Structures are given as C-alpha cells and as structure tokens.
Structure 1
Amino acid sequence: MQFEESIKESLIENRHRDPRPIAADVVKPDEGQQAAVLPYALLFRREDHRSKLVHIVISGKVTILKHGPIYCLVRCGPHEGYLHKGMILW
C-alpha cells in the first residue's frame, strides 16, 4: 500500500515536465536565398495541398521568394509554386 502511494507521488511529481526546447539557433533562409528540400517535394499553385500540382522538385534546391505561415512561395527553375514548410530542410 505504501509502495503504491510512493509510486503515485513520483508520477504526480514528474507529470509536469518542461516542454521540448525549441532550437533557436536554426538559421532559416531569407527570401531570395536557396534552400534544400526533401526529395520529390511538391509545388502547388495555391497555398493548399488540394490545389493543382505545378511541379515535382527533383533537384533538391529551390529559391525562396516569400515566407508564409505554412507554405512558402518558391521557384525551382522556370516553375513557381507553393511548397509546404515541412518539406524544406532548415
């Protein structure tokens, strides 16, 4: 009984952990700079994954034209489109 109570107390103490630290030293490329992307990243016409597909990036490099909250406007060769920020390797 006492052992179970000590386990419950330790669980309660450790329940409130600090959140995972955010890497503040990550350098994000500015507009006009090149950025590396994951293989076969998809460029869309609008800031929506359901919009028309413009291009599939095979080269692995894009030029960032504009930052948005979820998507970035990028250029890959002659193609311009929106790329999800999760596909960019910061």
Structure 2
Amino acid sequence: MEEFRAPVIDSLVLWLINSGVMDPIEDFTDEIEGCMLTQEGRTKVLRAFIQRMEDTVQPEDPVKGAREEEIPRWAVINRQVQIYKQFVNDQIPVYLPFLIR
C-alpha cells in the first residue's frame, strides 16, 4: 500500500489544493474533532480519486525493465497485490515493488 501513497493519494491531494478544486470555505468545516470535509468536499475528493484510478499509466516490467502497455492505475495496484500474495505464499523468491520514474 505504501508504494502507491505518494503517486496516487499525495499527488491527488496536492493537485486538489493547488488547482483550486477544493474550496477552503465550502469543502471543509471546523469541528471539535478537527478539520472535516463537507459532503460537497467528500464528493469532489471521491470523483477525483476515481478519475485518478481510471487514468492509464505505462508501467515498467520490474524483471525485464521494459515498458508495458498502458493500463489503469487500479490494475497496477491489483497486479502488485497479486505479486505480493505470491511472495507471501513462497511462490516467488522476492517482491519487487512498483517504482515511479
């Protein structure tokens, strides 16, 4: 999960803020528990997240080092989950994480 935090979640949050998609007055509320998203804010984040996951990327095969065909980000994550599962079950000797160029 950690290998996808920066390229998916952190970059999405920074884009939402820097591009002005999120409005600090309309999309957030100050509560006792802390700063919370409003319903409108949650909708914006969820829509942007779904779009980010549907966007295609061209991953690199960690073994061959060659670029593969473009696939949605969710498919890359799913593939890494399967590879990790094989590693945990001793079906492959080493887990190779997804690397960002």
TM-score by length of 1: 0.26
In terms of fraction of residues, the more helix-rich structure is: 2
In terms of fraction of residues, the more strand-rich structure is: 1
Q: Which has the larger radius of gyration?
A: 1
TM-score by length of 2: 0.24
Work out which structure has the larger RCO, using CA pairs closer than 8 Å and 6 or more positions apart in sequence: 1
